[in-house]
Structure 1
Amino acid sequence: MAAAGHSAQGRPASAAPYAIELRGISKAFGPVQANRDISLAVPRGTIQGIIGENGAGKSTLMSILYGFYKPDAGEILVNGQPLSITDSMTAIRAGIGMVFQHFKLVQNFTVLENIILGAEDGALLRPSLSKARGALRDLAAEYQLNVDPDALVEELSVGHQQRVEILKALYRQADILILDEPTGVLTPAEADHLFRILRGLRDEGKTIILITHKLREIMEITDNVSVMRRGEMVGHVRTADTSPEELAEMMVGRKVLLNVDKRPASPGAPILQVQDLRMTDADGVERLRGISFDIRAGEVLGIAGVSGNGQTQLLEILGGFPEKGAQIGGAVQVNGQPLPLSGRGADARSRRRAGIGHVPEDRQVEGLIMDFAAWENVAFGYHDDPAYSSGLFMDRAAIRADAVGKIERFDIRPPSCDLAARNFSGGNQQKIVCAREIERNPDLLLIGQPTRGVDIGAIEFIHKRIIELRDAGKAVLLVSVELDEIMALSDRIAVMFDGRIMGERLPGQTSAGELGLLMAGVTGDAPNVGGQV
């Protein structure tokens, strides 16, 4: 499928110069064909979107362009000249920069130190730092990328860390900038600021390649978009000539529901009751300031808010792994039984025995052991289940058989239970965690950022599983920075700001604007509804 004026290779009919041209790129990892005969031409000074399901081969293709992988076949041209990109330094010298989904920053280095890392002028760092400071000041002013050069990276927000990554690429004089899922960890306001930056870069003549699964972003920011499916390029269109529905169908190969299909909730008895929950961390900072709410059987309570306002601490306490050294007070009940908040019985294993499933916000740090195989991760935390045991030992055959079933039912790709978790795409990693927790049929599911970095087809799938769990009479506590997701899935919405719940709303009786004000700590006159908020 190609737009008018484009060939099947995505090459405009005009003779406009291309910043990047890929011809017949193929790459396999053992039996898995990640890229198959892919061709793409990106005109200079444009924003090119590349979309596709998780595992479609987008990141592999860009990793080839950046020199992380060598293609098995095909040719790369940069500014019209053939180039063998053998490593990332070759790409950098050719003016290509890349900002990864998971940032490549040294957390205990300053911004300035991260900027020059790998680009020092010599053995003495002082001249390099002095030169970089001036260049950084100029770049920050030109592209609205203001950040304190002397700040430690670990003290920066995620949005500012991303600015550091972009500045790193620009400092190395990148004219072609690749961004892999750049808004996966950003708030809506941070994403909007990023878009302003990208438009400014394009207007200055830079070429942007944007890898994303978010159709709203594609429609808002790109000039052209190419669609990948299962390792192949299936279409190139001008963004102005397409629609979210058409792109979704191209990505998945079938029509996709962009809205959550659910019937009204029928709440039952309270499953989770939280009263005056407080938490002060080891540094003496009060993270939770008297949180109270309940969730009934057969309903989803969505917690909206900008990251860093206590949602993470709430999930960690309820999930059984609070921050070390934290002081916790208040009362929590599950199915009418008190839930210990410290000491014996406050751990994750006890939470699982109490009927709580937990899909954590950070799948790579808290949800998976990245070097372990998929079949091992399916049993992660449930290894003492009698179904997994054979006498005193774990029954590997039983665990593997269970993993094979979950991989099939959750459409995890590639369908290999022996592949290490780190070798799956982010969306398929998320499916592994969701399969493990949802199929345990918990009375209460805690789920944080369920579709962060997940493609449209997987989003539809995960949303369906959440609603199925609700309709089976289970309680769901949903935490997400995606307001569209909160509005679509929740039966009630509570908004957190600075460790407090600012108010509760019904999805059909509020708006993104009202919720945004609550997220900023501005309360309105609308009354709270339901629960104990």
Structure 2
Amino acid sequence: MTPQPSEPDTGAIAVELRGITKAFPGTLANDRVDLTVRRGEVHALMGENGAGKSTLMSILYGMLRPDAGTVRVDGRPVSFASPGDAMAAGLGMVHQSFKLFNSLTVAENVVYRAEPRRFGFVDRAAARRRVTELAAAHGLPVDPDARVADLPVGVRQRVEILKLLHRGARTLVLDEPTAVLTPAEADALFAVLRRLADEGHCVILVTHKLREVMEGCDNVTVLRDGRVVARLRTADTSADAIAGAMTGRAVELDRVHPPGTAGDEVLSVSGLSAAGVRGAELGVRAGEIVGIAGVAGNGQSELIEALAGLRPVTAGRVTLSGRDITHASTARRRREGLAHVPEDRHAVGTAPAASVADNLAMGHHRTSLSHRGFLPPRAVRAHARELIGRFGVKASSHRIAAGSLSGGNLQKLLIGRELAHDAALLLVEQPTRGVDIGAVQNIHDQLVAYRDAGHAVLMVSAELSEIRGLADRVLVMYEGRIVASYAKGEADERTLGLAMAGAVPVPVPGPTPSKEV
């Protein structure tokens, strides 16, 4: 029997969805879904990729129309034709892909289309004051004059939340809000969300992170295959119970994989400098995973881009399996044995308008799938079907556009395509961002199997539990430098967090250990 929580006594019902049904060709995304959220509540909406969470929130926010069912906001029946209608009713949503103008300042983004005016003109001074006051009141520090393009992703998220508050949103929907945050930043965000709830807002979190749900949410609704399978009060349940409801099976959480057996050095980096990176020294051996931890914006992505050939190197040397690739093209790096899973799966990792099959063929079109310079359609289809099955990509067809997949399924597609290259070195950024619990385990197992097959893996992740569970060694970056190096099990989250904040005495070059270590 589905567990049912008692109704919280925190306030009036803010959002009520009853019998929501929505179908797409070949998919029943929502099947008679009920959801009730009250004022003063932080409510988690959970489920695996493809469970129907995004569809349900898109209906609530006016981006989709339901086929059946009703929506009530503050007790009034509504039928939103657009997000503008939802915002006018006091709803606001922060998407995984931020909706900001990079060329504008923080203040200009926050007040866009809701600008304070003086004598018919935009009052820029008033806009800056408004942003400063909102930021101080809600613990979301930002520089109102900073250009959004220059901000790390964690600060951009604050801008998105301030946009909602400026427009008077009383119901906030946040989609994977801590995917780009450190543990300390996530804790600070939840303190903000709790304060908002205590002030009478209601907060709906779409998330996969069980620890955050257990520590920061009052109730949780779990979807599986488009249906509600559990309604739980977090004070009366456990992370294991929620994971079981999401997947329909027992799930082993926070597994720590045993260390690998390091072989010959595959990647050697000496004195590497590039925009955002200063004097990096590191090595990765066959049969090991090296993790890089750091607060967003401290050079991790820039280092990976320099190694992948996407950012010019200004000093230093990079060798791959003994061959100098410091200034090599991306195509040559691929030929020499480098695969890359970038942080931005939409803008860099995939071509959203191309089909799933075509995206899975990318990079393979000159090697395994090529036949006398041509790509046989049958081979492309077979390749796509094999990877879709191996990595559990939920797609109605290999012909559909990759951009129509959920974020988690697009990530599975990207991981699968790059692992299939069987390259000597895999550079992987945020391997499980936005991916459901069951798929996280699968991706982790695939990365460990890749390591154990004799490959080298250099991984950047914002999830310290992921780094500690997978990495044989952990490097920490701060302000563009590698400032600390730890063997597996040497550093707990507090130690890593201090190093990420720059609380180490001197930069550590992080030499590669010998094979006997």
TM-score, normalised via structure 2 length? 0.94
Question: In structure 2, what is the equivalent of residue 351 of structure 1?
Answer: 333
> What corresponds to 1:360 in structure 2?
342
Query: 66-75 or 184-193: which moved more?
Result: 184-193
**1:436 corresponds to 2:436:** no
Shift of 1:218: 0.5
Mapped to 1, the partners of 2:504 and 2:355 lie a distance apart of 47
List per-residue Cα deviations over 1:194-244 (Å, max 9, x = no partner). Answer: 111111101111010111011111011100000111221111000111111
Equivalent-residue separation in structure 1 for 2:355 and 2:159 (angstroms)? 33
Counterpart position of 1:192:
187
3-state DSSP of counterpart to 2:40: coil
Mapped partners of 2:507, 2:89: distance in 1: 56
How far has the Cα of 1:497 moved from its partner?
1.6
C-alpha separation in 1, matches of 2:254 and 2:468: 10
Shift of 1:4: 5.0
Kept in 2, the 8 Å contact 1:3–1:237? The answer is: yes
- Note if contact 1:371-1:421 (Cα within 8 Å) is conserved in structure 2: yes
Aligned match for 1:378, one of 328, 339, 360 = 360
Per-residue deviation, 1:132: 4.3
Give the Cα separation in 2 of the matches to 1:52 and 1:524: 43
Matched, 1:340 2:315: no
Does structure 1 residue 219 correspond to structure 2 residue 214?
Answer: yes
Unaligned runs of 5+ in 1: 7-11, 282-286
Q: 1:169 to 1:502 in 2, by over 3 A?
A: same
Q: Which residue does the alignment assign to 1:451? A: 432
Displacement of 1:64 in angstroms is: 0.6
Q: Give how far 1:37 is off.
A: 0.9
Determine if the alignment matches structure 1 residue 42 to structure 2 residue 37. Answer: yes
CA deviations over 1:412-440 (Å, ceiling 9, x no partner): 01252112111111111111111111122
CA shift for structure 1 position 147: 2.5
Does structure 2 conserve the Cα–Cα contact (< 8 Å) formed by 1:3 and 1:241? no
d(CA) in 1 for partners of 2:419, 2:503: 35
Q: Distance in 2 between matches of 1:436 and 1:454?
A: 16
| Structure 2: tracts of 5 or more residues without a match | none
How far apart, in 2, do the equivalents of 1:258 and 1:15 lie? 31
Q: Against the structure 1 CA distance between its residues 54 and 123, is the aligned structure 2 distance closer, same or farther, given a 3 Å change threshold? A: farther
Q: Classify the secondary structure of the residue corresponding to 2:395.
A: coil
Code of the aligned partner of 1:347: S
How far is the alpha carbon of 1:59 from its aligned partner?
1.3
Give the counterpart letter for 2:481 in structure 1. R
1:483 and 2:464 aligned: yes
* Alpha-carbon distance change, 109 to 242 in structure 1, aligned in 2, over 3 angstroms: same
Q: Does 1:85 align with 2:70?
A: no
SS in 2 for 1:316: helix
What do you get for the CA RMSD once the two structures are aligned? 2.4
Partner-residue secondary structure (3-state), 1:40: strand
2:288–2:455 Cα contact (<8 Å) kept: yes
Query: CA offsets per residue over residues 128-171 of structure 1, 9 Å max, x none?
Result: 65664554344333222332333322223322222221121122
User: For each residue in 1:100-122, what CA deviation from the matched residue of structure 2 results, as whole angstroms up to 9, or x when unmatched?
Assistant: 11111111122232223233578
> 1:284: which partner in 2?
none
- 2:159 counterpart of 1:174: no
Name the CA shift for 1:450/1:137 in 2 (closer, same or farther; >3 Å): same
1:229-268 matches, within 5 Å, as 229-260=224-255, 262-268=257-263
Q: 1:127–1:389: structure 2 CA closer, same or farther, 3 Å change rule?
A: closer
Task: Report if the CA contact (8 A) 2:222-2:231 is conserved.
Answer: yes
Shift of the alpha carbon at 1:127?
A: 4.7
Residues 15/109 of structure 1: CA separation in 2 closer, same or farther (3 Å cut): closer
Q: Percent identity?
A: 46
- Alignment correspondent of 1:312: 301
CA offsets 1:53-76 (integer angstroms, 9 cap, x no match) = 122111111111010001111000
Q: Which residue of 1 aligns with 2:154?
A: 159
Q: Contact conserved, 1:305 with 1:497, CA < 8 A, in 2?
A: yes
Indicate conservation of the 8 Å contact 1:303/1:494, yes or no: yes
Q: CA deviation at 1:45?
A: 1.3
Contact 1:27 / 1:72 at 8 angstroms: preserved in 2?
Answer: yes
TM-superposed CA distance for 1:125, in Å, is: 6.0
Tell me how many residue pairs correspond in the alignment: 514
Q: Specify the SS of the correspondent of 2:489.
A: helix
Q: Distance in 2 between matches of 1:54 and 1:412?
A: 9
* TM-score where L is the length of structure 1: 0.91
Tell whether the 8 Å contact from 1:503 to 1:518 is kept in structure 2 after alignment.
Answer: yes
Q: SS at the partner of 1:481? A: coil
Distance 2:146 2:297 in 1: 19
Contact kept, 8 Å, 1:273 with 1:294, in 2: the verdict is yes
Given residue 88 of structure 2, which amino acid in structure 1 is its aligned partner? R
In structure 1, what is the Cα distance between the partners aligned to 2:279 and 2:141? Answer: 36
Structure 2: distance between partners of 1:113 and 1:125: 17
Do residues 508 (structure 1) and 493 (structure 2) align? no
1:292–1:532 CA contact under 8 A, matched in 2: no
